[in-house]
A and B are shown apart, each in its own frame.
Chain A
């Protein structure tokens, strides 16, 4: 089945700096890669996703890059703000398994003042 590895597990940055979270996946047939943000006491919320026909997608301060050859994708947050502090999850679909997503183990991002 699909295996998704996510690093780092915790990340602390100064406000205004950039943050990068990386994920690798095992199934070369995977073609959809979402990122979720989970704030304390809430469910995960989809913040950006990318499909395999593009290498990069941006939405204001967040961007996702995809390297299909190397089977890894990354979340980039620029000009971090305290409200970016949360747990971030990457995911990839389990091909042949319907629309089931396999999630990474999560990254606790802390943006310090």
Chain B
């Protein structure tokens, strides 16, 4: 049973719209991550957080922003969506160092 939830699962929006992808976990994990997954399968880290009020940019440059006001919630926002933002976005959380990640089911975003 998944303890990390992403909504929506699928989203089709027009260029220029502002969107927020939701991610929530019920495991009390401090560490949370956002990955972008391209059609070639590779996972690219775009944001991460080690706890409340902590956010950092990942290895792949992204125009998105994140916030971490509550431990369980790590939303990702795109202020002005573009077709280049079309991708699968995966959220994950972890109990600590050298522990595996628990991934959500992902949000497949299409910007038209």
Contacts and interface: CB of A to CB of B under 8 A. Distances in A.
Contacts of B59: 1
B103 to A, nearest CB: 3
> Which of A43, A45, A89 has the most B CB atoms < 10 Å from its CB?
A43
> Which of B31, B33, B43, B102 has the most A CB atoms < 10 Å from its CB?
B43
Contacts of A11: none
B42 A105 contact: yes
A105 B102 CA distance: 18
A93 B6 CA distance: 24
Interface string B79-112: 0000000000010101011111111111000000
A41 to B, nearest CB: 8
Mostly helix, strand, loop or mixed at chain A's interface? strand
Interface stretch (A60-68, A74-82, A95-103): A95-103
A34 B42 CA distance: 16
A99 B31 contact: yes
Determine the interface band of chain A, counting residues with CB < 8 A from chain B.
20 to 34
Contact of A34 (B43, B58, B100): B100
Contacts of A89: 43
A51 interface: yes
Interface of B: 6, 31, 33, 40-43, 45, 48, 50, 58-59, 90, 92, 94, 96-106
